[in-house]
Amino acid sequence: MEIIKACDKVFLEKYTLDISYDFDALTKLTGKNIKLIERKDVESYSFLPLSEEKDKKTNKNVALLVFGDPLIATTHTELLLEAKQRGLETRIIHNISILNVISRTGLQPYKFGKIASIPFWQENIEYRPCGFYNLLEQNQKIGAHTLFLLDLNPIDNKYLSPGLAIEMLIKCEMLKKKQIINEDTLFIVCSRLCSNTEKIVVGKYNKIKSIGFGLPPHCIIIPSPPHFKEQ
């Protein structure tokens, strides 16, 4: 909080994760005129100073606020590289992320494999990319749990629901026929982890599809055979 107060300009980016918060309370707490920016602003680096050499007199301390850990999203990693190329000094304040809180499920973090993102499939296009399904297969071969992060587009108010994401996994199974998902597959759906409205549901698809999970963020876990302590 002290670092935010010390900055001349403060921006808040909400594309990579959009959760409920009191914006007015945040501005009062920091005493700053916080500007909301979209993904295109972050990707165009429009809020970054040009360079330390050119703008020594006008350079100001700039803060970009994001939800979760800032370097989990590749967008923010690229932003950091751009700042370094411009000769700008950077400082990263790490925060809690999904990787820290998946232990809320009772599963042990060190038993997780590669993380997969399930993107929206484009409408009116027959091609259905199943990279996330392939990654599930890789993790299952080594006995690792698989964490799926679900796509979101806050600008258009679009959020991939857990039910639809599981349907996509099932469709990939029908296409690939690797026999890694069936009617007995166990899914763990996590919604708004570590918030006051946290919801964790464990069940097969027939149970999951009829449940309303409410507002995002959501993620899905397909567990490998559990350790006896996890069980």
Which residues participate in the annotated binding site for S-adenosyl-L-methionine? 69, 72, 97-98, 150, 193, 218
**From CA 178, how far away is CA 113, in angstroms rounded?**
19
Q: b vs e for 90-104, b when ≥16 Cβ sit within 10 Å of the residue's Cβ? A: eeeeeeebbeebbee
Q: E strand or H helix at 3, and its extent?
A: helix 2-6
The first and second tokens of residue 130, run together, are 């199943």
Complete DSSP assignment for 161-191: -HHHHHHHHHHHHHHH--S---TT--EEEEE
Interstrand relation of 187-191 and 218-222 (parallel, antiparallel or unpaired): antiparallel
Annotated binding-site members: 69, 72, 97-98, 150, 193, 218
Q: Between the CA of residue 9 and those of 33, 54, 225, what are the distances in Å?
A: 8, 19, 49
Q: How far apart are the first and last CA of the chain?
A: 40
Give the count of beta carbons closer than 10 Å to the beta carbon of residue 80. 15
